[in-house]
Amino acid sequence: MSNQQPYRQDPNRGYGQQYEPTRQYAPQQSRQNQGYQQQSQSPQPPRQQPENLLAGRFDTKKVIINLVILGVLCAVISFAVLLVIDLIVSAVTGWAAQGPGAAVVYGAIAGIVGVLAGLLYIPVVGTGNENLFGAAILALAIAAGVVYVLLGGLLDGDWNTLLTLGAILCTAGTAYVAPTRIESARVR
């Protein structure tokens, strides 16, 4: 035989009924535990904030590591995108491709400028305009693209302008993604 009692549902308690512990099931507190609880209710000093915080919210070391990794990854992605654009332009126009050297330079510049533009997110944090940062990056990328198309020579037949337009888009993409890497370094 088992020493456990079978489950019997109390008809007075069901869903929507509040549970009230009875003396039988209430935890027994000794005098030592009561004294301990009184001591633990005393006000505790506020936690000390780490000294190496960026803008009082972000761990500086994590922000630097995250943004360096972001810059390198975006530079590599930008290199690949710009190399493909350069090859497509050379295949369509018959001009000689600028080669991987130009794509490396454009990719590195896109990664660095994108990370620096993404750093502008830090002063925006806490103002309530965090979502407008992404809209501002997109608006600036579109404006820079339109100005470069009009003044860069694409309308006059200079297809190499597409390489710079690709770099502008990669820079905007890097700046658009940077706030997520900065937020991941927030001290909670």
Q: What is the pLDDT of residues 166-185, one digit of tens each?
A: 999 999 999 999 999 998 88
The reported pLDDT for the residue numbered 46 is: 64
What is the distance between the alpha carbons of residues 186 and 188, in angstroms, rounded to a whole number?
Answer: 6
pTM of the model: 0.69
Residue 96 lies in a domain: yes
Q: How far is CA 69 from CA 4, 96, 99, 107, in A?
A: 60, 33, 25, 14
The two most distant CA atoms of the chain are separated, in Å, by 96
90 vs 5, more confident = 90
Q: What percent of the chain has pLDDT over 90?
A: 46
pLDDT at 45 over 80: no
Across the chain, mean pLDDT equals 81
Evaluate if residue 187 carries a pLDDT over 70.
yes
- Within a domain: residue 4? no
Q: Is residue 3 part of a domain?
A: no
**In a domain? residue 170:** yes
The boundaries of the domain holding residue 85 are 57-183
Does 134 reside within a domain?
Answer: yes
Domain assignment present for residue 120? The answer is yes
pLDDT of residue 185: 84
DSSP letter for 42, please. Answer: S
Instruction: Round to whole Å and give the CA distance between 85 and 99.
Output: 11
φ, ψ (nearest 5 deg) of residue 14: -150, -160
Residue 99 inside a domain? The answer is yes
Do strands 53-54 and 58-59 pair parallel, antiparallel, or not at all (unpaired)?
A: antiparallel
Q: Is residue 51 part of a domain?
A: no
Q: How many domains does the chain have?
A: 1
